[in-house]
Structure 1
Amino acid sequence: MRPAWLREAVEASGLPPPEAFPRDLAADASMRLPVRPVGLKDLTSEKVRQWLAQRGRTVEIGYHREMHGCMVAWEGKGLVFFDRGDGPAQQRFTVAHELGHFFLDHLLPRMRALDFFGDGIRDVLDQKRPATREESLAAVLEGVPIGVQIHLMDRGPTGEVGTGVVARSEQRADRLALEWLAPEKAARQVMQDGPTETQEQRLEQHFGLPPDRAATYARILRREEGRSRFSIVSFLGEDAG
Structure 2
Amino acid sequence: MTLPWLSEALRVSGLPPPESFPRDLASDALLALPVTPVGLRGLTSERVRQWLAQRGRDQEIAYRSMYGCMVAFAGKGILFFDKNEPPDVQRFTLAHELGHFVLDHLQPRRRALDFFGEDIRDVLDQKRSATREESLAAALNGVPIGVQVHLMDRSESGAVATGRVARAEQRADRLALEWLAPTKLAREVLKDGPAEEGEARLERFFGLPAVEAQSYARALRREEGRPRFSIASLLGDEQG
Mark yes or no: TM-score above 0.5. Answer: yes
Q: TM-score, normalising length from structure 2?
A: 0.89
Matched with 2:64 is 65
Distance 1:6 1:153 in 2: 21
The one-letter amino acid of 1:95's match is L
Asked if 2 retains the 8 angstrom alpha-carbon contact of 1:113 and 1:140, the reply is no
The one-letter amino acid of 2:199's match is E
Where in structure 1 are there 5+ consecutive unaligned residues? 232-241
* Cα offset, 1:134, TM superposition: 4.4
Asked if 2 retains the 8 angstrom alpha-carbon contact of 1:113 and 1:121, the reply is yes
Instruction: Give per-residue Cα distances to partners, 1:100-151, cap 9 Å, x unaligned.
Output: 0111001111011112222111112123223345434536862211111101
Asked if 2 retains the 8 angstrom alpha-carbon contact of 1:113 and 1:141, the reply is no
Distance 1:218 1:148, change over 3 A: same
Asked if 1 retains the 8 angstrom alpha-carbon contact of 2:96 and 2:173, the reply is yes
Distance 1:72 1:145 in 2: 13
1:63-142 matches, cutoff 5 A:
63-138=62-137, 142=141
SS in 2 for 1:138: helix
1:1-241 matches, cutoff 5 A:
1-61=1-61, 63-138=62-137, 142-156=141-155, 157=159, 161=163, 163=164, 166-229=165-228
> How many residue pairs align between the two structures?
227
Asked if 2 retains the 8 angstrom alpha-carbon contact of 1:69 and 1:80, the reply is yes
The one-letter amino acid of 2:172's match is A
**Percentage identity across aligned positions?**
70
Instruction: Give per-residue Cα distances to partners, 1:133-170, cap 9 Å, x unaligned.
Output: 54345368622111111011111245575x5xx21111
The one-letter amino acid of 1:22's match is P
Q: TM-score, normalising length from structure 1?
A: 0.88
Distance 1:160 1:227, change over 3 A: farther
Asked if 1 retains the 8 angstrom alpha-carbon contact of 2:45 and 2:64, the reply is yes
Distance 1:114 1:200, change over 3 A: same
SS in 2 for 1:21: coil
SS in 2 for 1:39: strand
Asked if 2 retains the 8 angstrom alpha-carbon contact of 1:2 and 1:224, the reply is no
Asked if 1 retains the 8 angstrom alpha-carbon contact of 2:80 and 2:94, the reply is yes
Larger radius of gyration: 1
Distance 2:132 2:153 in 1: 38
Distance 1:160 1:50 in 2: 25
Where in structure 2 are there 5+ consecutive unaligned residues? 231-240
* Cα offset, 1:188, TM superposition: 0.7
